């Protein structure tokens, strides 16, 4: 018999969709090694491998067969994707051009690594970031620099503004994937892109107000409000937007601070100073990586109060997604501050989902967890935290929870699905 690698879906799939992998035509109980690899847009090779044993009929189904070792062990149907590691140290898999897929090469090798022998089967699988029918529209409206992703169909669609962190630039991959689930999503740049400022200094909330106005005036966006999705520094910017701007009804924060960070924030005649830091408190891990979690001052101390964002002024609900092993922010501490502050002002408790053994960089599903990489601003290797298996599970669950939250508060659709973690 000839071994055959079967993928479902057989054709291209979206990055955030699971891939069902089976191998047929093996000998009964045959030992094989499966290997997955892809090259990112900079040419860095990412690879994972796992050892398996076929069943009595000579079939191997990754949804039923546990890996016996390799890059991961146990029942992990998507392990070959999320467990990929770069051939260069500190590499992080990101998607820069969402119009082109990542091409994953899957191989079945006879025997177990490191003694795996001849190639038994091979397949290529395209994983796309622009779901079928989703339209990508570059936005240059006044000062706003962004990309709008519109789902297929006539609409209008519930609108979301998506902000990334202190790395800057325009990150589109989360917005493009989310648009595939029925949302009109604006991936918004706010520095280090085209004619925007090169550095995070003296941010003005008016810029973000222009982005909200753009969305609310767009014929494909379902008003009268939009939602916000922010990660890291983008999270505290979303908190400020929800607190001071009109037209915002639901806000999701991924590992965010409740104080304004890194640079002062201006709005009209108001200034929110940034929460100071003490770089002398940074730690170095045994691997020589920076651990920044202790450098930030405590926003509850009286001399830091002015940096706290008055989130009790916000009109809509909040969802805080918290990695309990975040080594960049004290995300758990900040989420508790938010909850206590809202309740002290007679507001509803925010929804908070805590993910054990999960680090700072919570991406859409199946991205290899980034536990450390070179920080775009600092230019040094930073430790983000997270245990890969737990972090990967958190990414899957958080992606579902984000969609459920926005469907409920932007689209009026309730769901009984709760976090599995």
Phi and psi, residue 66, nearest 5°: -75, 145
Per-residue tokens: 398 = 């958080």
What is the pLDDT at residue 151?
Answer: 98
What is the pLDDT at residue 415?
Answer: 60
Q: Which residues pair with 162 in a beta bridge?
A: 187, 229
- Is residue 360 annotated as part of the catalytic site, yes or no? yes
pLDDT in tens, 362-374: 999 999 999 999 8
d(CA 15, CA 104): 11
Catalytic residue among 232, 240, 339, 392: 232
Q: Give yes or no for a contact between 283 and 244, defined as CB atoms under 8 angstroms apart.
A: no
pLDDT in tens, 122-161: 999 999 999 999 999 999 999 999 999 999 999 999 999 9
What is the pLDDT at residue 116?
Answer: 67
Q: Give yes or no for a contact between 124 and 39, defined as CB atoms under 8 angstroms apart.
A: no
163-199 b/e (C-beta count within 10 Å ≥ 16 → b): bbbbbbebbbbbbbbbbbbbbbbbbbbbbbbeebbee
Q: Coil, helix or strand for 94?
A: coil
Q: Give yes or no for a contact between 70 and 48, defined as CB atoms under 8 angstroms apart.
A: yes
Q: Which residues pair with 187 in a beta bridge?
A: 147, 162
379-417 b/e (C-beta count within 10 Å ≥ 16 → b): eebbbbbbbbbbbbbbbbbbbbbbbbbbbebbeeeeeee
Q: Give yes or no for a contact between 308 and 258, defined as CB atoms under 8 angstroms apart.
A: yes
**How many other CB atoms are found less than 10 A from the CB of residue 342?**
18
88-101 b/e (C-beta count within 10 Å ≥ 16 → b): eeebbbbbeebeeb
CA–CA distances in Å: residue 414 to residues 156, 241, 255? 19, 25, 25
Catalytic residue among 274, 325, 326, 363: 326
- Is residue 232 annotated as part of the catalytic site, yes or no? yes
Q: Give yes or no for a contact between 173 and 231, defined as CB atoms under 8 angstroms apart.
A: no
Question: Looking at residue 286, what DSSP letter applies?
Answer: T
In order of start, what are the domains of the chain with their CATH numbers? Answer: 4-128 (2.60.40.2240), 135-411 (3.40.50.1820)
What is the pLDDT at residue 420?
Answer: 64
Catalytic residue among 360, 370, 391, 392: 360
Please list the ranges in the chain whose pLDDT falls under 70.
Answer: 115-116, 415-421
Instruction: Find the farthest-apart pair of alpha carbons in the chain and give their distance in angstroms, rounded.
Output: 76
Per-residue tokens: 246 = 């009109």
pLDDT in tens, 18-29: 999 999 999 999
């Amino acid at each position: 018999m000839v071994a055959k690698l079967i993928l479902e879906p057989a054709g291209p799939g979206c990055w955030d969709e699971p891939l069902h992998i089976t191998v047929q035509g093996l000998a009964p109980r045959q030992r094989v090694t499966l290997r997955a690899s892809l090259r990112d847009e900079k040419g860095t090779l990412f690879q994972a491998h796992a050892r398996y044993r076929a069943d009595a009929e000579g079939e191997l189904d990754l949804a039923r067969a546990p890996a016996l070792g390799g890059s991961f062990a146990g029942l992990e149907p998507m392990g070959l994707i999320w467990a990929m590691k770069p051939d260069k140290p500190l590499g992080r898999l990101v998607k820069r051009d969402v119009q082109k897929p990542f091409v994953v090469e899957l191989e079945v090798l006879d025997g177990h690594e490191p003694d795996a022998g001849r190639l038994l089967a091979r397949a290529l699988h395209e994983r796309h970031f622009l779901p079928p029918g989703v339209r990508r529209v570059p936005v240059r409206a006044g000062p706003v620099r962004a990309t709008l992703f519109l789902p297929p169909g006539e609409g209008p669609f519930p609108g979301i503004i998506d902000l990334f962190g202190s790395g800057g630039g325009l990150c589109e991959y989360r917005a493009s994937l989310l648009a595939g689930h029925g949302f009109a999503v604006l991936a918004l740049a706010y520095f280090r892109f085209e004619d925007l400022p090169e550095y995070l200094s003296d941010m003005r909330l008016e810029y973000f107000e222009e982005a909200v106005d753009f969305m609310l005036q767009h014929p494909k966006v379902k008003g009268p409000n939009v939602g916000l999705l922010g990660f890291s520094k983008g999270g505290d910017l979303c908190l400020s937007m929800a607190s001071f701007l009109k037209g915002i009804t639901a806000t999701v924060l991924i590992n965010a601070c409740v104080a304004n960070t890194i640079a002062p924030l201006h709005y009209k005649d108001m200034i929110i100073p940034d929460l100071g830091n003490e770089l002398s408190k940074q730690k170095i891990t045994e691997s020589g990586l920076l651990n920044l979690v202790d450098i930030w001052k405590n926003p509850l101390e009286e001399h830091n109060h002015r940096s706290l964002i008055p989130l009790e002024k916000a009109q809509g609900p909040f969802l805080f997604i918290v990695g309990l092993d975040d080594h960049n922010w004290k995300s758990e501490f900040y989420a508790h501050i938010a909850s206590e502050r809202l309740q002290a002002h007679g507001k509803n408790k925010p929804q908070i989902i805590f993910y054990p053994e999960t680090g700072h960089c919570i991406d859409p599903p199946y991205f290899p967890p980034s536990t450390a990489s070179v920080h775009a601003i600092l230019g040094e290797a930073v430790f983000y935290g997270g245990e890969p298996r737990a972090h990967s599970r958190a990414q899957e669950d958080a992606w579902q929870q984000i969609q459920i939250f926005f469907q409920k508060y932007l689209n009026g659709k309730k769901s009984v699905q709760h976090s599995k973690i």
